Amino acid sequence: MRPPILSEQSIRAAIRELAASGERITGVAVRDLLLARYGARGGVTRIYRLLHESRADEREQRGGRAVGVAALPRSDEPREAAIARADLAEHRERAHQERWARETDALRARLAAAEQAAREVEAARRRVTELARALASAQARIAQLEAELDQDR
């Protein structure tokens, strides 16, 4: 393993500088500052370890541990509001699903009716063709009989 280019002291100085400037102290911000200043970003694991240590030191200097979630006062209002929003969203989703189910059923019924109508049209077309042939045949027979009748006269 090669020795680090940046010392822990320079990394801690960069963290303190970001804290003093009021910027949000993130690993990316620290690494960008180190790159601009020293031409090297430093190792990610090392940067985040030192950043974590720096935050722990800062909490100790402020007089104690950070307030945990369990120590926060509990309020049921946000929970109840979230439950109400979830119930409303569920109701809307159910209504949406029911609407589209009805719409889908209506379209399926229209499609079935259209297919049935198409079959009926095709049957009627065949029947018209048969009747047209029968009519043509009958007209030809009438013409033949009239011709025979004319010959007999």
Q: Where are the domains of the chain?
A: 8-61
What pTM was computed for the model? Answer: 0.40
The residue ranking higher by pLDDT, 103 or 10, is 103
Other beta carbons within 10 angstroms of residue 124's beta carbon come to: 10
* CA 20 remoteness from chain centre: 42
- Give the closest residue to 14 by CA, choosing from 4, 41, 2: 41
- Give the closest residue to 34 by CA, choosing from 2, 57, 4: 4
SS3 content of the chain, % helix, strand, coil (to 5): 80, 0, 20
d(CA 122, CA 145): 34
Q: pLDDT for 42-69, tens place per residue?
A: 888 888 888 888 888 887 887 755 555 5
